[in-house]
Chains A and B, each alone.
Chain A
């Protein structure tokens, strides 16, 4: 398909405004500023765009629910806090499509009646924030931030770290200069968000789709998808693939095609056992489901989640228990510590997995893992712990024989007995 989000990824200077405009950039903004906010939101709903941060909530509906008459001031935040292991698409956008992000933010600001917007960039992407800053300077100089209702102020907030900042209320606390603990909902952030004012938070990829939708229309966007999907999607592949990377493809492309055509299949001598299809907080997708179109609904039907569209490959040389030790270590470390089930529960899960991997686990430990899965997720405050447990619980089921072998042999069957 035609490159849309990835059009400038390989340019020598993706922040170059002239090159972006020569390729049709800022046409969507020019059209959108001629439209009433309510019509923009209707067009966005018609496009079928769904949140690309992982949850898949319809973007147009999110905007409509905030209300065109929400009290002022209203705020807009672009969530570029991508920290989830296996998710690398927003980094590609930041370095390779800064004007897509900015044009999308300007369109959103006009539609939502926003005069102050923030692009929240994780601290580890500070070098990318400098690319965005360069693009922002050019856009400002060109007068592109003069919207019909007044000048837009857009700040780039470079974060001080922590995965939890990507949660849509925690991100607001981080911007306000507080600890990034998630907030209690209700009130929803669309009513009381940044400084208690109506706030819209959208993922960077969702925002980057807006220029295309408003340049070419909702029908054009819908037609980009295949197999029931809508629009284009930045999928990514990591792990033992021949060609790991980020691929812009029609939303709804099958896992089989993404993994074996675009990422080139596995490195020589390896066999694929399973994937996490959307970052490390999604359940395993097994080979019998690789013909699934990778869009939100189809992936949910086979018991996993599209998430961020970031595939993590696990081959036949990789111990599934060791794999889960690594995914759980991340979440246990990144728990914000606010609620007890997550703060105490995830390190417990990690410890049990480490014991089993070291050959010191028992059948009771496996049972305890199952039990914790049922106790931690429903009792935790936000989606971090439930996400952390998705690969663990699906892995306990899919790789039950591997777990049992660790207990029976008293060592990891992939490593052999340790001297």
Chain B
């Protein structure tokens, strides 16, 4: 199954060159794994089997070792996601400010369970740990942009912009 954002071919010469540069620049090849996985995830939307094997061969780690890292680190996605990933903070400050309502609204909008790709293909909603925006709770992240405070109206607007492909990071 391919992700809606799985757009870059792993044989793409510029992608491969960029990945190889990261490994060469790293003090030791295996220490490049974080950046390699980040670049692959950005290009493919998530780390599929082919991306995992490529990351392993580039860094000299075994595929099992890379899988071990992927299952440990929470920002690595091993399943397909929508065009945008909405991470909704549910830690204490956001919890007190109504994070559960925000999470429920986003999940209902997506029409699927948390972590799944919405019917439109535009969205995946995931609960997430504190994103450091406790003074602007409740907060969330759209891809790597943190936003807060969010209420039901601003969330409705944000979801509409994401669906219409008109959302821009600030």
Contact = CB atoms under 8 A, between A and B. Distances in A.
A273 interface: no
A-B residue pairs, 9 tightest by C-beta: A160-B73, A238-B134, A161-B74, A161-B75, A85-B91, A244-B135, A326-B95, A177-B30, A85-B130
Contacts of B128: 124
Nearest to A324: B92
Interface in B51-105: 59, 61, 68-69, 72-76, 87, 90-93, 95-96
Interface secondary structure of A, over-half rule: mixed
A116 B130 CA distance: 30
A178 B69 CA distance: 7
A84 interface: yes
Contacts of A176: 28, 30-31
9 contacts: A84-B130, A88-B133, A124-B128, A161-B75, A177-B61, A195-B28, A244-B137, A327-B91, A336-B72
B16 interface: no
A373 interface: no
Given A123-B38, A160-B37, 8 more contacts: A83-B130, A87-B130, A87-B134, A323-B92, A327-B91, A327-B92, A329-B91, A330-B129
B132 interface: yes
A365 to B, nearest CB: 21
Interface string B120-147: 0000000011111111110001001110
Among B38, B61, B91, which residue has the most Cβ atoms of chain A within 10 A? B91
Contacts of A84: 130
Given A88-B133, A326-B96, A179 B141 contact: no
A108 interface: no
B117 interface: no
B19 interface: no
Q: How large is the interface on A (under 10, 10 to 19, 20 to 34, 35 or more residues)?
A: 35 or more
A17 B13 CA distance: 36
A326 B68 contact: no
Contacts of A383: none
Contacts of A289: none
Interface in A33-92: 82-88, 90-91
A376 B136 CA distance: 33
Contact of A333 (B73, B93, B129, B144): B129
Interface in B3-31: 27-28, 30-31
Interface of A: 82-88, 90-91, 116, 122-127, 157-163, 174-180, 195, 236-240, 244-246, 280, 310, 312, 314, 318, 323, 326-327, 329-330, 333-334, 336
A239 B74 contact: no
Contacts of A179: 68-69, 72
Interface of B: 27-28, 30-35, 37-38, 59, 61, 68-69, 72-76, 87, 90-93, 95-96, 128-137, 141, 144-146, 169
A84 B96 CA distance: 16
A238 B135 contact: yes
A87 B133 CA distance: 9
A326 B91 contact: yes
Contacts, number: 132
A330 B132 CA distance: 13
A332 to B, nearest CB: 11
B55 to A, nearest CB: 11
Contacts of A85: 91-93, 129-130, 134
A391 B96 CA distance: 16
Given A161-B76, A330-B129, A177 B135 contact: no
A417 to B, nearest CB: 19
Contact of A237 (B28, B34, B135, B144): B135
Contact of A245 (B33, B135, B141, B169): B135
Contact of B129 (A126, A314, A318, A334): A334
Contacts of A180: 72-73
Contacts of B59: 177
A124 B146 CA distance: 8
A330 B91 contact: yes
A127 B146 contact: yes
A88 B134 contact: yes
Nearest to B87: A124
Nearest to A246: B135
Q: Among B128, B134, B146, find the residue whose CB has the most chain A CB atoms closer than 10 A.
A: B134
A160 B69 CA distance: 9
B135 A124 contact: no
A323 B132 contact: no
A163 B38 CA distance: 18
Given A176-B31, A179-B72, A160 B135 contact: no
B28 A239 contact: no
Given A86-B93, A157-B34, A323-B92, A163 B145 contact: no
Nearest to A326: B95
Contacts of A122: 132
A326 B134 CA distance: 14
B169 to A, nearest CB: 8
